[in-house]
Each structure stands twice: as structure tokens, then as C-alpha cells.
């Protein structure tokens, strides 16, 4: 029997990137999936990718919705229940870093950017979990939040609001994990390092800009010791592990870091002690 056979998964932000890879993986491994995002064209690309992999059309529900709206969230939960009758796995993956077109960073970035960042990365997760909770309790289900190594413990001076929103999300993961495990629902998260997705484009970077940054990091082992930035499937596999109670039943309220070793290094280790002594 397929790993997620009989399960229903709702994956936010599945019109692109990590969410698309996770939805495809869940569907290929037997789950019925609700996929969602605002961009209907990209959402259809995800649906087509799932169908092309041999998954029957009746196992996929695509709902174009803005998660920042109450109506969008209600449509997602109601649509999933109407179509599939239950909810077992909620992946809170949708997220973004809001970029200032004028290049202001850190504390100089406008407070409107702070609000927008927290709206999608944090507030929408809280309200969606509020709506999904009773249905997940019925199935003794799983919540997986997609955080970031940007949430800490290191500083994130350039994308400060983004880092703050992910740090808040990590606290949300821990706290809801304690509350919901009393009802049999597990909450965990994954904290990726850099991943090749539409993240840069969503920030308004010109085509190819994110790739340029990623390639630079890949050529500096102090940025990513394993030598490559992640493909979305490498994060999707961690999401699937956390959603699979036969594999991760005793993990509660944790964030698994999947970053190729990036967050293990401090600045000091980027320098060669022997070279310093020669100076
Ligand atoms: P993408 O930009 O490729 O995907 C983001 C997804 O979120 C899209 O499907 C987008 O859909 C959706 N989304 C954004 N805003 C909304 C909204 N208001 N309503 C509904 N859907 C929305 O980026 P990633 O795949 O990289 O991002 C996924 C998660 O991974 C995010 O939480 C991000 O913070 C996290 N992450 C990413 C890293 C990376 O290096 N890429 C590193 C660490 C964490 P649409 O545009 O159709 O609305």
C-alpha cells in the first residue's frame, strides 16, 4: 500500500517551489491533495505535473485562493472537506520575503513591508490552523510548517522582517505542538537553507538574480558546506517524513534544519587558522 494511502493533504503555496514538490510527492505516494496559490496558471502547472506522474485526476483538487484573506482560507478548508471528506495533513508552506523596490533593508524597511511579511508568513498560518484544527483532531492528523534558517539563531540583518516572522513561526510550532498533541495532532516544522524556487522572482528580483546568488554561495563552502543549494524535492522529503507517523511519531514541536550545513558555521570558521598565523 502507498505510504499516504487514505490520507488527505492540504499544501499551501503549492503553485510553485517547495509546495509544488511536496504536493507532487504526497500525491505520488497515495494521498489525495488540495493544491493552492493565487496564480491560477502556475497552479495548473502543478496539477498537470501531478497528473503526468500517473495520479488520477479525482485525487487532486486545485483551489486558487489568497491566503491573506479569510474567504480564501474558508474556501480551502470547505473545498477540501467537500471533495475529500476529511483532512489529515496540513502543510503551511506559503510564504515570502517582501522586498523594498528602493533597496531599503533591515530597520529602514517600511512598516508596511513588516505587515505584509507577517500577514503571509505568520498571521495566515495562525488563522488557517484555527480553521483546520477541529478537522485535524478528528483524524489525529499532522501539521508541518515551513520555516527557515533565517528565523535564527543567527542574525538576519538584510531580511530582518522575514527572519522575525520565521522566528515567530518557530515559537508557534512549539506552542501549538504542546496544545494539539493533547488531542493527538502533531505539529512540526522544517527550516530550509537556500532552495532553488520562485522565491527570488516573488521578491521582484530580475530573472536569473536568485540563481546568481545561489551559484555564488555554492562556490563558497563556508556558505553551504555540502556544496549545493537545495532542490525543492530535498525539502519535500523532510515534509513527507514529518507527515508520516510511521516514521516520525515521537517528534513533537521540532524544526528539522535542512540546509546543507549552512547554519553550522560561524564567521570565524570561514577563515583558516593556519593562514592567519602566517600573516
Ligand atoms: P516560491 O515563491 O516558489 O513559492 C511560494 C508559494 O507561496 C507560491 O506557491 C505562492 O503562490 C504562495 N503564496 C505566497 N503568498 C501567497 C498568498 N498571499 N496567498 C496564497 N499563496 C501565496 O517560494 P518557496 O517555495 O521557496 O517558498 C515556500 C516556503 O519556503 C516559504 O514559506 C519560504 O519562506 C520557505 N523558505 C524558502 C527558502 C528558499 O531559499 N527558497 C529558504 C527557507 C525557507 P502564488 O504566487 O501563486 O500566490
75 close to ligand 1 (CB < 6 Angstrom): no
Please give the distance, rounded to the nearest whole angstrom, from the Cα atom of residue 145 to the centre of ligand 1: 12
How many other C-beta atoms are found inside a 10 Å radius of the C-beta of residue 34? 26
pLDDT recorded at residue 271: 84
Instruction: Output the residue whose Cα is nearest ligand 1's atom 23.
Output: 199
**Contact residues for 203 (Cβ-Cβ < 8 A; gap 6+):** 96, 97, 98, 99
18 close to ligand 1 (CB < 6 Angstrom): yes
Alpha carbon 159 to chain centroid, angstroms = 17
Closest of 232, 238, 196 to residue 217, by C-alpha: 196
16 close to ligand 1 (CB < 6 Angstrom): yes
Please give the distance, rounded to the nearest whole angstrom, from the Cα atom of residue 16 to the centre of ligand 1: 7
pLDDT recorded at residue 269: 83
What amino acid positions are annotated as catalytic residues? Answer: 162
Instruction: Output the residue whose Cα is nearest ligand 1's atom 33.
Output: 95
E strand residue ranges, 20-84: 32-37, 60-64
Closest of 246, 238, 233, 256 to residue 24, by C-alpha: 233
141 close to ligand 1 (CB < 6 Angstrom): no
pLDDT recorded at residue 272: 83
93 close to ligand 1 (CB < 6 Angstrom): yes
> Ligand 1: which of 17, 46, 193 to mutate, most ligand atoms within 8 Å of CB?
17
Please give the distance, rounded to the nearest whole angstrom, from the Cα atom of residue 96 to the centre of ligand 1: 5
User: On the CB side of 236, how many CA atoms lie within 13 Å of its CA?
Assistant: 23
The residue whose grid cell reads 530582518 is: 160
pLDDT recorded at residue 3: 96
Atom of ligand 1 nearest to the CA of 92: 32
260 close to ligand 1 (CB < 6 Angstrom): no
Q: pLDDT by residue (tens digit) across 51-105?
A: 999 999 999 999 999 999 999 999 999 999 999 999 999 999 999 999 888 989 9
Angle at 176 between CA 81 and CA 196, to 5 degrees: 75
pLDDT recorded at residue 116: 97
Atom of ligand 1 nearest to the CA of 65: 20
Q: pTM here?
A: 0.97
Which backbone phi and psi does 276 adopt, to 5 degrees? Answer: -65, -40
Tell me the three state secondary structure of residue 117: helix
Q: At what angle do helices 17-28 and 40-52 cross, to 10 degrees?
A: 30
Instruction: Output the residue whose Cα is nearest ligand 1's atom 32.
Output: 95
Please give the distance, rounded to the nearest whole angstrom, from the Cα atom of residue 269 to the centre of ligand 1: 31
Within the chain, which residues score under 70 in pLDDT? none
Please give the distance, rounded to the nearest whole angstrom, from the Cα atom of residue 259 to the centre of ligand 1: 17
Among left, alpha and beta (phi > 0; psi -120 to 50; other), residue 245 is alpha
Q: Which residues in 117-142 are b (16+ Cβ under 10 Å) and which e?
A: bbebbbbbbebbbeebbebbeebebb
pLDDT recorded at residue 266: 84
pLDDT recorded at residue 270: 80
Amino acid at each position: 500500500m502507498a505510504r499516504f494511502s487514505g490520507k488527505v493533504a492540504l499544501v499551501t503555496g503549492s503553485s510553485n517551489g517547495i509546495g509544488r514538490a511536496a504536493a507532487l510527492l504526497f500525491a505520488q505516494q497515495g494521498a489525495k491533495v488540495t493544491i493552492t496559490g493565487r496564480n491560477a496558471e502556475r497552479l495548473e502547472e502543478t496539477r498537470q505535473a501531478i497528473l503526468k506522474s500517473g495520479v488520477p485526476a479525482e485525487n487532486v483538487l486545485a483551489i486558487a485562493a489568497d491566503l491573506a484573506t479569510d474567504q480564501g482560507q474558508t474556501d480551502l478548508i470547505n473545498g477540501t472537506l467537500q471533495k475529500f471528506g476529511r483532512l489529515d495533513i496540513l502543510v503551511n508552506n506559503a510564504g515570502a520575503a517582501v522586498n523594498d523596490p528602493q533597496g531599503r533593508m533591515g530597520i529602514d524597511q517600511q512598516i508596511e513591508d513588516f505587515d505584509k511579511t507577517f500577514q503571509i508568513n505568520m498571521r495566515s498560518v495562525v488563522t488557517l490552523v484555527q480553521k483546520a484544527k477541529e478537522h485535524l483532531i478528528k483524524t489525529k492528523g499532522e501539521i508541518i510548517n515551513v520555516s527557515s534558517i533565517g528565523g535564527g539563531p543567527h542574525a538576519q540583518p538584510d531580511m530582518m522582517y522575514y527572519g522575525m516572522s520565521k522566528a515567530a513561526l518557530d515559537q508557534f510550532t512549539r506552542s501549538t505542538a504542546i496544545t494539539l498533541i493533547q488531542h493527538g495532532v502533531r505539529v512540526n516544522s522544517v527550516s530550509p537553507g537556500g532552495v532553488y524556487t520562485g522565491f527570488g522572482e516573488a521578491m521582484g528580483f530580475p530573472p536569473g538574480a536568485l540563481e546568481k546568488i545561489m551559484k555564488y554561495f555554492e562556490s563558497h563552502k563556508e556558505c553551504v558546506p555540502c556544496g549545493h543549494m537545495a532542490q525543492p524535492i530535498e525539502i519535500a522529503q523532510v515534509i513527507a517524513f514529518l507527515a508520516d507517523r510511521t516514521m516520525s511519531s515521537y517528534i513533537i514541536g521540532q524544526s528539522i534544519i535542512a540546509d546543507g550545513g549552512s547554519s553550522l558555521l560561524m564567521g570565524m570558521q570561514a577563515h583558516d587558522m593556519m593562514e592567519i598565523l602566517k600573516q
